[in-house]
Amino acid sequence: MSRRAPALMAAALVVSLTPPVAAEKMVLEYPETARVDLVENQFGEQVADPYRWLENDVRTDKAVANWVARQNTLTQGYLAQLPQREWFAQRIKALMDYERFGLPRKAGAYYFYMRNSGLQNQSQLFVRKGLNGAQTLLIDPNAWAKDGATALDAWVPSKNGRLLAYSIQDGGSDWRTIKVLDVTTGKVLGDGVQWAKFTNIAWIGNEGFLYSRFPEPQAGAEFQSLNKNQAIYFHRIGTPQSQDELVYSTPGDADLGHSAQVTHDGRWIVITTSRGTDSRYALHLIPLGKNRKWEARTLVGGLENDWRLVEGMGDTLYFVTNKDAPRLRVVKVNVAVAAPQFEPVIGERTETLERAEIVGDRLILAYLKDAKSVAEVRSLAGKPVQQIALNAIGTASGFSGEPGDPETFYSFSSFNQPGGIYRFDTRTGKSEPFALPKVTFNPADYAIEQRFYNSKDGTRVPMFVVRKKAVAQAGKAVPTLLYGYGGFDISLTPGFSAARMAWLEAGGAFALANLRGGGEYGKAWHDAGRLGNKQNVFDDFIAAGEYLIAEGITPKGGLTIQGGSNGGLLVGAVVNQRPDLFAAANAAVGVMDMLRFDRFTAGRYWVDDYGYPSKEADWRVLRAYSPYHNIKVGVDYPAMLVTTADTDDRVVPGHSFKYTAALQAASAGTKPHLIRIETRAGHGSGKPTDKAVAEGADVLAFLAQWSGLQVPRSEK
């Protein structure tokens, strides 16, 4: 349909800030948003899309840029006058101001790790020669951009640790530029790789590395065009990218994606192929001998099961798989024989296997038990050796290492505990601190509970609830922030957030619901919350909110919700379905138009979880919950703050633009429905500290305003 001669619609409403917090009255007049008379017949239904023009790229479309500017002016003016904002900004900043470290990675005699002194916009990369050697600054991304929005993304040392390949992320985009640094001199070499995305960096000895890239997009389409024809290349150090060798591609199937890993002994390249986001992979092998020909042979054909390389030892490769084990197991295979057969090493058990690593001559296994981490050590034959004591509800990550080297590092964190780094020796079975954070609050002041509640269909769903112990002991109902995701086999586990801690310090409660669609209980849990079962996710989240009210954790009128990406979709969907349940909501970088999500950048991958809008059966499921298409006109909605970024090329901001325009035009009650659009900050990764502080303060002040959360008066 034509986009010409759009009619203009202006929406104005008076918003009283008296309930729930006494404040001056303010008139919000939403900016005029052009409506286009665009209606399409989709499977016999007439579907209007009056705001499709907002899908255009804000960088190149002046009308979209003008709309963004006017919306931001309104939103920033509103947020600036909230009485809680300055307190939250100060507390989030103070809570982030502590020295923190990333997991060390060992290569040769060198130890590499990230470190942030506290409030640096980007963490820096350091190296030590020897575990206790003097630290040397290798890379400082804070010098790369005045606004701090250019980040160091991945970094991988070569086998001997003398070279380091690292990727650069600019403005939050998913595109990466890969460069190489000489560790011994600190100088950046002339090597440069462009148009890498969704890539590993896998060194072949010290001579070069494998990476995944897409063809260079057309000028002006870098941030919206579909990603197809991913291929693996080998870059030899000291040569231009134009001489990079094509290692693996599938030109006959442009939708397939590929990533490469190299076993620690340099014997094999393992290529993992996928079609979407589902954990269903094919495996191909390339031997690394003297006469290199990049000839791949199939180890696992089809795209049926999850296969994750653990490590290779000679011709024996170890994998984690869900083949015949929905909660995963460890298997091994001898790839030197004519017909390789997988043999069991660690069988499936009640807990979900998150990862496995070979360190020294041991297997380290990390499991999820009701969304909490447990870890143990076994022999390579699968016999128990010891449990790794974690001693709290939290999340353990890391445990990377190499066969023959007994040393590994792991991180442990929780809602009231920033990540501490520990060194673990598989020979002695002992852990010792490598770097522990020093915080300005007392973790013991906060209670962490895990509760279980019943969803609409009776399914038992876990949820973490965090409050001050004094609040919990008093049985006081307080404004509560409920967070969820529920998709893509992703597990939500306990972790530290300065913004959440500020909410808790103000006297609120935080709840994290482990919804179906995630990976907390393996494949069956994921399957129960995707495709035709997606409504289960929304039912789980709504039931979580009802439980928090029924149990007296939060008062009616005090429940706020938040979710990002697929979680932004979650927030949009449940607000449409139960606008009466929530006081306020933050939908962040959400997928809001479920009928067109597959037309932009990485959206085509998501059909594994959402289905195909081009197929009628899937379309009808999507149409039933699509946030953009199901806004209820004339119904009182909670206060809504939509957040996105102009450089998000994962979930393009047009999703949030269209949804907000439709919500503002819907006469959906007297509470504000606003959008906050960040500049040079994409889907979330690489966001500088100052932007994270500002966004956190804006969101929490907004949620506090409409849930009745009062920040400490003495510190306002």
Annotation marks residue 455 as catalytic: no
- The DSSP symbol for 52 reads G
Q: Which two tokens stand for residue 221?
A: 């389409």
Residue 178 CA to residue 199 CA, distance in Å, equals: 10
Q: Which two tokens stand for residue 245?
A: 């060798």
492 contacts 511 by C-beta, under 8 angstroms: no
Contacts of residues 290-295 at CB distance under 8 Å and 24 or more positions apart, as own/partner, are 294/234, 294/245, 294/246, 294/247, 294/248
Q: Are 706 and 82 in contact (CB under 8 A)?
A: no
DSSP string, 559-625: EEEEEETHHHHHHHHHHHH-TTT-SEEEEES----TTTGGGSGGGGGGHHHH--TTSHHHHHHHHHH
List residues bridging with 15 in a β-sheet: 26
Amino acid identity, position 430: K
Q: Is 565 a catalytic residue?
A: yes
SS3 for 14?
strand
CB 237 within 8 A of CB 158: no
CA–CA separation, 313 and 286 (whole Å): 15
Q: Report helix, strand or coil for 687.
A: coil
- Residue of 413, 626, 683, 707 marked active site: 683
Q: What is the rounded CA–CA span in Å between residue 543 and residue 459?
A: 10
Q: Which of 279, 400, 455, 565 is catalytic?
A: 565
d(CA 302, CA 374): 32
Distance CA 649, CA 608 (A): 19
Give the integer Cα–Cα distance in Å for 528 and 536: 7
The answer to whether residues 604 and 624 touch, using CB atoms and an 8 Å cutoff, is no
> Phi and psi (nearest 5°) for 40?
-120, 145
- C-alpha distance from residue 259 to each of 212, 247, 311 (Å): 6, 11, 15
Gap between the Cα atoms of 415 and 5, Å rounded: 52
Of the candidates 408, 412, 419, the one whose C-alpha atom is nearest the C-alpha of residue 393 is: 412
Residue whose tokens read 């009466």: 580
Burial of 429 (0-12, 13-18, 19+ CB in 10 A): middle
Tokens of residue 119, six digits: 């409030």
- Residue 17 backbone dihedrals phi, psi, to 5 degrees: -90, 10
Annotated catalytic residues are 565, 683
